[in-house]
Structure 1
Amino acid sequence: MKPVLSKISSLLLGTTLAVTAIHAADGELSKVMKERGLSEIDVIRAAKTYNPTGVKDKYVVFSSGGQSGQVIVYGVPSMRILKYIAVFTPEPWQGYGYDKDSLAILRQGNVRGKEINWGDTHHPALSEIDGKYDGKWLAINDKANPRIAVLDLEDFETKQIVPNPVFKSNHGGAFFTPNSEYIIEASQYAAPYDNNYHSIDDYKESYRGGVTMWKFDHKIGRIKPKDSYTIEMPPYHQDLSDAGKGASYGWGFTNSFNTEMYTGGIEIGNPPNEAGMSRNDTDFLHVYNWKKLAEVAKDPKNVKIVNGHPIIPMEVAVKNNALFLIPEPKSPHGVDVSPDGKYMIVCGKLDTHASVYSFEKIKKQIDNKEFIGKDPYGIPILDMKKSLHGQAELGLGPLHTQYSNVDGEVYTSLYVDSQVVKWNYKDLKVLDKENVHYNIGHLAGMEGKTSDPQGDYIIALNKLAIDRFQNVGPLHPQNHQLIDISGKTMDLLVDMPLPLGEPHQAVAIRAEKLHPHVRYKMGTNSKTGKQHIGKTLAGQERIERDGNHVTIYATFVRSHINPERITVNKGDLVTMHMTNLERAQDETHGFTIGGFDQHASLEPGETTTMEFVADIEGVFPYYCTEFCSALHLEMMGYMMVKDPNKKYVSATKMKMKTMSPEELKAEYDKAVAVNAATDSVIQSVVAFLKANGFDKHETVANLVTDAFDQYGQIPAEKKKADEALKSGDVEKAILHEGMIWQLMVKTADVGIRAKDTLVTKIATKQSPAAARGATAFAEGGCNGCHVIGKVSSGPDLTGVLQRHENGEKWVSKFIMHPETMYDDAYVKGMIDYFNLKMPDQNMSEKETKDIIEYLKWIDENANLF
């Protein structure tokens, strides 16, 4: 009765505060409350979860996405969803499983050579140091296809998927040891370790359970399969696990069900599994010394190899005093180690009690070899009563427990009663209960399974929502409910529908511990963290052909994709390396080519690769899929796929057949004029090359030779054009002039590359600062709009330091804070002319100073540009 009275007192206090607020709001709040039918307590609860614009949450929650194969991220106390992270399932928005690089991660999860494109994510785990979350890595298991994935919390992306080579399912994963030395993964349903057929009649002899200890490299955030091992266990169904900490460091605890080893057979008249698997009064808690077994596994004599994976047999673990069993209430569903590692709480779904085990008592029996017997496989069994600190009667269907920051205080979910119970595991007293809606499974406390639990809130992960939300059909959302536990009694604050998968378990961490990137270093492969082989900066865009393999090096920057035209043959293998040149936060570009089931998401600085076979003929627009600027719709291009075995009739040629002699002559004159203008560009490049001794530099001379190979074919085409014109065949003359233009374009392309290469060789030597500035200019995406020596998408920057009074200061300010200068008359004129605003590319002060030195170097060598 006391908790109820206390709760009423708390509500009365809240009412008093709310009434005060109502009067202060001059009646406006009262009006809103009346219109919406809100009570004073509703207003208080809403205020506790409301985040004004720009205010961020104290905690971040990572929830499994169940059958979506994803991880769901949301904030507390706002309960606002922040992100879905693709893990075991292709996810188009992030391009996960569509671009080549992320597909390589997804394919790591193939099982026995079969592509698996979904997963049943269950238990997320955060990496730990000294038993405390460090905000570096997240691991999560796939129950359906026994796998563990590792996510990097610097960018919230999946970096590794590791299938278990001997398990056929897992529920008991993933759980980090206190210093992230290992990730614990327990099998769920016992099955043979090998991949052969075994009759169910041979269950006790051929089927096995187990716990895999995945060695984890915390520095790089990767599982190391070769340094991992599995502890063989009986064919009981192992369930959830937890790693000891503090007093119990080095030990692991995994509970189980079906110690009856029942195998069903409802189709042949046997009782169903749920009857046969819950016949015994108790099941077994597995207690194992993973630290000792890690050393044991290093000796090849102590392991057997199955599917290339080392397994420590039960008899070896027993011989090394490293594997024991303790009876626990039947059909348990979780074991939760206390912050100091001295206690383990186990709840049985079919018992009303929570059982609190004392590690000190367990260790004493182990040290004294006090066993009450052995199981059929020779594993020593400890006495349950001698292992218990005590039991507390909580209610119907106790499941999972989270610890608070108050010594001895814990919160446990009651599945059947649809409640959360607050109790003290040391004095075994119930303190409070809170109704939830409905059939709660896991609980998520704020760092509630660590050595440093925070209290504040508990989240009830409810399996059913029933009547809580708008009816959206027979498939209902699931319901996460936020409960305030900061007072003496619990207070249910808010419901949050989750319309994705079955969010099974969640972990919460203080937001201040997370330090994710807002951009990548230019050209980064986000899946490896290293420089991408396809890194492309502005000016390096190109299309290369090697047989039927076409490789495209492309860049993205507001508001264009370069190149904008790609022509390939039907059947070509197309590899497209794409680099987002943006450095501005949140300036993501997406990319798709219609008809080929391709999509990529490119965050600022990222390079990724798309690869596909152009197996259908036609014209296929491609575009940026993220609305990135006012000219977003113009950020597009065309891929044209032609059949090399077909003859195509030029539409231009067909048009000529309908033209009058006067129109044909005008078309011819236009073609000649275009060629003359193009040739003048070529001649200026040739003059530059000759004047600056290109032949003294082998790489430049080779490019010039390539250019002249193309240019040397022009006289023959010009002769044919002149002869056709003289004979009166204007149409034919136009076609030959068109061929001349094609040769000129190829010549100009190579010639300009030769000129740019020569400039780097003959210009004055760059100072270290200018060299750094050139790199910052390129990797900062500046040359996506500014081409030195000519006007492009932005003005030519040659001489920019002389255009303004105190030019260095003016340019520095414009680079670092362009938005503050948009109203400057000169800048406004540039914006109006180019129809673009200079973006903030987040250049540091040092990078800006280096760019100024680079611009000075450009001015010193202005005659070369």
Structure 2
Amino acid sequence: MLSKIRKSIVFLSVFLISSSFAATKDLQQIMKDRGLTERDVLAAAKTYTPTGMKDEYYVFSSGGQSGQVLVYGVPSMRILKYIGVFTPEPWQGYGFDNESKKILESGYIRGQEIKWGDTHHPNFSEKNGEYVGDYLFINDKANPRVAVINLHDFETTQIVVNPVLRSTHGGSFVTPNTEYIVDAAQYAAPFENEWVPIEAYEEKYRGGVTLWKFDYDKGKINEKDSFTLELPPYMQDLSDAGKGVSMGWAFTNSFNSEMYTGGIEKGLPPFEAGMSRHDTDYMHVYNWQLLEKLAKNPKNTKIINNHRVVTIEAAVKAGALFLIPEPKSPHGVDVSPDGKYIVVGGKLDTHVSVYDFEKIKKLIDKKEFVGKDPFGIPILDMKKTLHGQLELGLGPLHNSYDKEEGIIYTSLYVDSQIVKWDYKNLKVLDRVNVHYNIGHLDTMEGKSSKPKGEYGIALNKLSIDRFLPVGPLHPQNHQLIDLQGDKMDLIYDMPIGLGEPHDVVSIHASKINPSKTYDKMGTNSRTGEVHEGATLAGQERIERDGNKVKVYMTAIRSHLNPEHITVKKGDEVTIYVTNLERATDETHAFGVSGLNVHASVEPGKTSSVTFKADQEGVFPYYCTEFCSALHLEMMGYLTVKDDKKEYPDYKAAKVAKMSPAELKKEYKKILATNKATDAVIQSVVKFLKEKGYEKYPEIKALVKDALNQYGKIKEEKAKANKAYKDGDLNTAILWENQIWQYMVKTADAGLRAKNLLVKELSTKMSKNARKGEEAYLRGGCNGCHVIGKVSSGPDLTGALLRHENAEEFLYKFILNPEEYYDNPYMDAMIKAFNLRMPNQNMKPKEVKNIIEYLKWIDENAHLNQ
């Protein structure tokens, strides 16, 4: 732990020292001015993540009423992405392109479009109870749905609607090998789609747990093989699946064992009073492996809304369903990493209860019950199933485990605390205050069979005084807690101004391996297959079938093809857009002004949009993702003609404004530019071949991208030559300009490949040289100096060879450049570049590290030749 802290302090010190603010004030002065303590600085050091350094963990958070999922990193707490799930997300085109619209439409309920969601409990796919970063599941409490997110591209690929439950807070929990996704009811309601009076609550209203069968290879829920276990109309809540000794079993808690039905408008006590009358509620204990077999026999099921429901009677008869009393109004139910213990916190009890599964199983095997509930479900004795209880404080809610055996953390809603305690020896170890009214909490991979602990996250419902005020609706507050010492240490406040993020799950970064681009050109990201509208270079076209128009378009830096689309008013238009890029992060997007049309198209992907051209006019379309220097030029025009109208006969004649002599001069100039650019390309190609670029997959992909661009030149050159031969210099210049565009794109990808290859081939930087590079970049030195060539300032390659006692000279010069302006050598440099080296207020240690960096540059100078 100490080594991590020291490392963080070093990074923080580098940042503080090298900033312009720190140039005139030391760390102690900054702390004094801002009222910071040493503890504050240490907390900052623990979370500070320098440019280029990545987080240790991914955190996936429900987005609450936004219907989305948020992704951020730990320990930096930097937001990385919003994933559109149950609601549109415009930046990614989710809910705008046809493919994602189809996903959202699958979440309609009984034909009703649902425009919002209330995401609650995210969970990862698992193998042997360990988190596996292939899939993420998330439930919608408000509209009983579960979604599947493919973590190879962080996109939602499926939404399923629960056919019998009306509200499912208790999802989406996963069995140890992702056989099923457990989705428990919240508010009891009739399974059938019909009106039933509240007076028939006990007879017709029901709770339940749906077990969604997951096909891991396909990455999809198999609705046909899924089923629901009928449960009494107690309000089921959260669930957890057994593991280890409790493998095959699952546990769902509940509230309202009173089966109270409210009626405040009739003068009756409200729900909150009637639902908390009993001293205990029920934990449901059920054997999902046995239920799976029962569901296959029609004798054990009812078919409701084309969905199999295993009846209470069948489950009880088969010995697959039991109840255990638990503290009233429980919320969390969490199985220990070894599967032996089940920990339950009751919101209206100051205690947490630790159940022993082996005791539970013995009672079940002996059929030793204390009675049955009104629905005939056997009830086990609470005291005989308990390992013990421990008083923690007011409002215990949720639990998460530590890597140290027997250690668990519990959130206290009323006390606004997290308590660290030993669930085997029933002993409180530590507690920390949070701000305020904590709901869920998480420790890194804390609910898997191999929790890592290290950090904790408190998901607080109130922030009150923590951040700048933004009106009556305050942001949520996720707080990061360092768990690596004997005492918990709260080190970061993170405001989230989106929805009410309800719960999070975390996973080590090494377990998530997202694709950098889509491997198959023209991939439909929602299915993983090649899209029906996939279009390769040269296949761009516009097809008409009656009043239906299909446009097969490609996108590549820096143009969309085609650039002119003319349709008739009333046409149904479908545009397929394929991103031909192979380079990482070269996303293109497609938007049409004024028509509510948008799609995000990542490298190798095909997206499609369909709309009715019901308005006459001219509608520009463009790439909405800033993708290159010529981003603004990446556009085109959709024109909609009204066939019932007559239009003037406009002549499209072009008249070159240049004289023949000026055109000739311009033509020769562009030829010379293209020749010089091609020379650069050839030198890069020579370097890449000589250094064996094929050994490195990422570099090889960039070279492929570069050669793809370069391969287009031959055809354009033929067009330019023909225009020149025909005496059309204006058109010849345009085609030569297009050739230059392809050359620039080739050079861009090629130089990126070369730079990556240089990094691969370079000798490893020393610690001080790496710090020197950081100081060089933070000091803005790269604004004038480009390693390997002359720019606004001289090339720094060989700088240590240009002076006698060069290290000493450069050390003094960088610290105080103004003292050397009259030096003959520096005077000549100033006149040559018309620029003076400014004083960057570097610290002596920084300058020494920069000199080590310059040594490393010289050591690898041959790679830039």
1:557 corresponds in structure 2 to 556
- TM-superposition CA deviations, 1:699-753 (whole Å, max 9, x none): xxxxxxxxxxxxxxxxxxxxxxxxxxxxxxxxxxxxxxxxxxxxxxxxxxxxxxx
Q: In structure 2, what residue type is equivalent to 1:439? A: N
1:838 corresponds in structure 2 to 747
Does the 8 Å contact 1:794/1:834 carry over to 2? no
2:193 corresponds in structure 1 to 195
Give the match's secondary structure for 1:41: helix
- Find out whether 1:348 has 2:273 as its counterpart: no
- Mark the CA change 1:369 to 1:30 in structure 2 (over 3 Å): closer, same or farther: same
Q: In structure 2, what residue type is equivalent to 1:201? A: E
1:458 corresponds in structure 2 to 456
- Find out whether 1:620 has 2:619 as its counterpart: yes
Q: In structure 1, what residue type is equivalent to 2:449? A: S
- TM-superposition CA deviations, 1:619-649 (whole Å, max 9, x none): 0000000111111000000000011111112
Q: 1:790 aligns with which of 703, 715, 727?
A: 715
1:587 corresponds in structure 2 to 586
Q: 2:491 aligns with which of 476, 493, 500?
A: 493
Give the match's secondary structure for 1:275: helix
Distance 2:740 2:651 in 1: 37
Shift of 1:828: 14
Give the match's secondary structure for 1:599: strand
Distance 1:539 1:547 in 2: 25
Q: 1:443 aligns with which of 441, 444, 449?
A: 441
2:733 corresponds in structure 1 to none
- TM-superposition CA deviations, 1:113-160 (whole Å, max 9, x none): 111121100000001000000111000000000000000000000000
Shift of 1:392: 0.4
- Find out whether 1:65 has 2:63 as its counterpart: yes
- Mark the CA change 1:298 to 1:618 in structure 2 (over 3 Å): closer, same or farther: same
1:596 corresponds in structure 2 to 595
Q: In structure 1, what residue type is equivalent to 2:615? A: I
2:381 corresponds in structure 1 to 383
Shift of 1:790: 2.7
Does the 8 Å contact 1:231/1:314 carry over to 2? yes
Distance 1:503 1:74 in 2: 12
Q: 1:511 aligns with which of 493, 503, 509?
A: 509
Q: In structure 1, what residue type is equivalent to 2:117? A: G
Identity of aligned residues (%): 64
Query: TM-score when scaled to structure 1?
Result: 0.76
Q: In structure 1, what residue type is equivalent to 2:466? A: R
Give the match's secondary structure for 1:356: strand
Distance 2:616 2:303 in 1: 51
Shift of 1:651: 3.6
Give the match's secondary structure for 1:279: coil
Does the 8 Å contact 1:581/1:784 carry over to 2? no
Does the 8 Å contact 1:208/1:232 carry over to 2? yes
Distance 1:550 1:105 in 2: 24
Shift of 1:779: 8.9
1:393 corresponds in structure 2 to 391
Distance 2:718 2:463 in 1: 54
Shift of 1:29: 1.6
**Matches for 1:409-428 after TM superposition, within 5 Å:** 409-428=407-426
Q: In structure 2, what residue type is equivalent to 1:577? A: Y
- Mark the CA change 1:388 to 1:786 in structure 2 (over 3 Å): closer, same or farther: same
Does the 8 Å contact 2:475/2:495 carry over to 1? yes
Shift of 1:669: 12
Q: In structure 1, what residue type is equivalent to 2:497? A: P
Distance 1:425 1:114 in 2: 47
Query: TM-score when scaled to structure 2?
Result: 0.76
What's the C-alpha RMSD, in Å, of the aligned pairs? 2.9
Shift of 1:32: 2.1
2:834 corresponds in structure 1 to none
Distance 2:703 2:644 in 1: 41
- Mark the CA change 1:794 to 1:302 in structure 2 (over 3 Å): closer, same or farther: farther
Give the match's secondary structure for 1:483: strand
Does the 8 Å contact 2:574/2:611 carry over to 1? yes
Does the 8 Å contact 2:702/2:752 carry over to 1? no
5+ residue gaps, structure 1 = 1-9, 654-666, 671-768, 770-774, 797-826, 849-865
Give the match's secondary structure for 1:292: helix
2:402 corresponds in structure 1 to 404
Q: 2:323 aligns with which of 303, 320, 325?
A: 325
Shift of 1:786: 4.0
Does the 8 Å contact 2:462/2:476 carry over to 1? yes
2:173 corresponds in structure 1 to 175
Distance 2:506 2:139 in 1: 17
Does the 8 Å contact 1:537/1:779 carry over to 2? no
Distance 2:752 2:709 in 1: 15
1:117 corresponds in structure 2 to 115
Give the match's secondary structure for 1:204: helix
Distance 1:98 1:781 in 2: 32
Give the match's secondary structure for 1:596: coil
Distance 2:702 2:472 in 1: 56
- TM-superposition CA deviations, 1:263-317 (whole Å, max 9, x none): 1000011000000000100000000000011011111121110000000000000
Give the match's secondary structure for 1:333: strand
Shift of 1:219: 1.7
- Mark the CA change 1:641 to 1:316 in structure 2 (over 3 Å): closer, same or farther: same
Q: In structure 1, what residue type is equivalent to 2:79? A: I
Give the match's secondary structure for 2:212: strand
- TM-superposition CA deviations, 1:590-646 (whole Å, max 9, x none): 111112111100000101111111111100000000111111000000000011111
- TM-superposition CA deviations, 1:674-705 (whole Å, max 9, x none): xxxxxxxxxxxxxxxxxxxxxxxxxxxxxxxx
1:540 corresponds in structure 2 to 539
1:647 corresponds in structure 2 to 646
2:835 corresponds in structure 1 to none
- Mark the CA change 1:54 to 1:831 in structure 2 (over 3 Å): closer, same or farther: farther
Distance 1:595 1:408 in 2: 60
Give the match's secondary structure for 2:210: strand
Distance 2:645 2:537 in 1: 35
Distance 1:232 1:593 in 2: 49
- Mark the CA change 1:48 to 1:28 in structure 2 (over 3 Å): closer, same or farther: same
Does the 8 Å contact 1:444/1:507 carry over to 2? yes
Does the 8 Å contact 1:578/1:607 carry over to 2? yes
- TM-superposition CA deviations, 1:229-285 (whole Å, max 9, x none): 100000000000000000000000000000100010000110000000001000000
Q: 2:78 aligns with which of 65, 80, 86?
A: 80
Shift of 1:34: 2.1
- TM-superposition CA deviations, 1:364-401 (whole Å, max 9, x none): 10000000000000000000000100000000000000
Quick check: which has more Rg, 1 or 2?
1
- Mark the CA change 1:105 to 1:778 in structure 2 (over 3 Å): closer, same or farther: farther
Shift of 1:46: 0.3
Q: In structure 2, what residue type is equivalent to 1:168? A: R
**Matches for 1:333-344 after TM superposition, within 5 Å:** 333-344=331-342
Distance 2:199 2:65 in 1: 32
- Mark the CA change 1:83 to 1:792 in structure 2 (over 3 Å): closer, same or farther: farther
1:135 corresponds in structure 2 to 133
Q: In structure 2, what residue type is equivalent to 1:791? A: E
5+ residue gaps, structure 2 = 657-693, 695-699, 722-735, 758-865
Give the match's secondary structure for 2:122: strand
Does the 8 Å contact 1:785/1:793 carry over to 2? no
- TM-superposition CA deviations, 1:349-371 (whole Å, max 9, x none): 00000000000110010000000
2:568 corresponds in structure 1 to 569
Q: In structure 2, what residue type is equivalent to 1:839? A: D
Does the 8 Å contact 2:56/2:508 carry over to 1? yes
1:528 corresponds in structure 2 to 527
- Mark the CA change 1:612 to 1:386 in structure 2 (over 3 Å): closer, same or farther: same
Does the 8 Å contact 2:709/2:745 carry over to 1? no
Shift of 1:30: 1.7
Shift of 1:780: 4.6
